[in-house]
Structures are given as structure tokens and as C-alpha cells.
Amino acid sequence: MGAADGNNKIDFVLIWVDGADPEWRAEKSLYDGSAVSGNTDVRFRDWDNLQYWFRGVEKFAPWVNRIHFVTWGHLPQWLDTSAPKLNIVNHKDFIPHEYLPTFNCNPIELNLHRISGLAEQFVYFNDDMFVTAPTEPEDFFINGHPCDTYGLNCIYFVEDSVGHINGSDLEQINNHFKSSKAVIRANRSKWYSRKNGFKNNIKTRMLSTWDWFPGFHYDHLPTCFLKSTYEEVWEKCTDALVQTCKCRFRSGLNVNQWLMKYWQLCKGISEPRREIGRVYHLKDDEIPKALAAVEEGKH
């Protein structure tokens, strides 16, 4: 039985915002987050390339059960909303009303488990993450376990970065998992699997000197989640999640969906996997590499 069959269905979740929508901009202006760090237009821009995300999924992940497309309410004009696997999700459909409207991706991400009909196994995408080569269900879940890379790292702090949010995630992790050494010892074969890569294993070894977590390996790539992980984290870290959801605009004191990712690693739920993706930054020297990677189907 394949990983996407029967009770092992795998859904994709994609969040999107059209920052040029005049109605959306009018509502956003009522709350004026212009002076808030992380509220620049770059956080809300649409590159008019979303159709390639859907084409990539259709071609390279035909096994997906459903696609939950999450938006403020606007939709691309070209989108076929009658597609049988597509579920259009408005923020109002799943985010508790006391947190709306929100112009902060973190409350959106933290409430994904509330989407009606969402499968227990789901893969979360931002709208700048594309599927450009053939995939199998086992690239994302193995025997009901999400696939991920195990590895420790240090948090990068700089102005307008997500380092402060990452730090908030780590605060929750260290509060609930008292000994990093015990966590690693319980699943040593996963933390030092060859699939994590030599560099990650070396970093983990060096950073496991302390009995607390300094940070985790992370790349801007799709993340595999269990809905039950969300439910557990909401139960254990209620105050931190509620405070984040009350922020209409991104704040350095927020937590985000990485908390769920790290939680799965600490509990040993995830299965090690070689990284199947690559992050390309929008810089002059990276653009040709990104275009070549798409054309060659490298990732």
C-alpha cells in the first residue's frame, strides 16, 4: 500500500496573499502596520508565478490527496476552482474570529490544523516553494512519519531576520524538553543518520556539548507535519501560541510553525531524509542557477 493510500492520505497546504489587491490593502491600512518590523511589501508581494506551483504539483506529485489553498479571500483569475482536488480556504474558515483580520503569516500557519477535512499527514508550502521534479509519497512520509533532516545549528540574529522568532520557538522547546542530550540519545540513529549529511552531523556533534538546544537545522523548503503534532503543541504551549495569534502583524516575539517542526524532531517522530530541495536567493548570481535547476529538474 502506498503512503498516500487509505488512511495514509497526504495533503498539500499552500498559503498565498495578493499584496496588490486594493480591497486587501484597504483593510490592512485600517490597522496600519507600516511601522512594524517585518511588515514591508516584500512580505506580501505576488510574483505572478503561482500557476507554476500548481502545474508542478499536477505533473510531479499526482498522488497528492487534496490541495488546501489558503487565502484572505482573493484568488488568481486563472485558477480552476472546480478542480476536484482543490479546496479553497478563507482565513475566516479556520482561524478563530478573535484573531482576524490578520496580516501576519504566523497565526495563519499556527492554525492550519483547524482546516476542515485536512488529512493527518500534510506538507506545508509557502508560495515560493516549487515542485520541479518527480516525487513519491515516501519523499514526505514513511509509515505515517514525517520526513525531515535532523541537525543542530545556531540561530542567526540580524535586523529584519526571523532569528528572534526562531529564538521564541527555541524558548518553548527548551522549556518542554529539559535535556537535549537525552533527546538525542533516545534517537541517536536518527540524529546521526547519514541522510542528514556529513556537515549536519558534525554540527550536531559540536553543538550537543550543552544540555539545551541552541537551534536546529532549517532550510526554506516545504515541511511535513502531522495534524496531531499541532494539537499537542497547542495543548502544551497555549499561551505562546495565543499571544502570537493576537498579533495582526509579525513580531519578533512571535513563535511560528517551526515550533511544530522542532517538536517532531525532539520527540523522534520524524524520519531522516536526504534534503530533496534547494534554496535559491533572488540575487544576480543565483538566478541563472535557479533557472538551470528548474529546466534540469534537479530538485
Task: Point out the least confidently predicted range of 232-236, 260-264, 292-296.
Answer: 292-296
Residue type, 295: E
pLDDT in the model for residue 3? 46
pLDDT in the model for residue 72? 96
pLDDT in the model for residue 39? 54
Of 216, 223, 220, 197, which is closest to residue 280 (Cα–Cα)?
220
pLDDT in the model for residue 47? 65
Task: Point out the least confidently predicted range of 227-241, 250-264, 276-290.
Answer: 276-290
Tracing cell 474570529 back to the chain, one arrives at: 97
User: Is residue 36's pLDDT more than 70?
Assistant: no
Q: What is the mean pLDDT of residues 233-252?
A: 96
pLDDT in the model for residue 201? 97
Query: What global pTM score does this model have?
Result: 0.92
CA gap 294, 276 in Å, rounded: 13
Q: Which percentage of the chain shows pLDDT scores above 90? A: 80
Average pLDDT, the chain: 92
pLDDT in the model for residue 164? 93
Domains delineated in the chain: 6-296 (3.90.550)
Give residue-wise pLDDT tens across range 172-202.
999 999 999 999 999 999 999 999 999 999 9
Phi/psi for 51 (5° steps) reads: -60, -30
Q: What is the mean pLDDT of residues 243-247?
A: 98
Q: Cα angle vertex 182, ends 177, 187, to 5°?
A: 105
Q: What is the mean pLDDT of residues 82-92?
A: 97
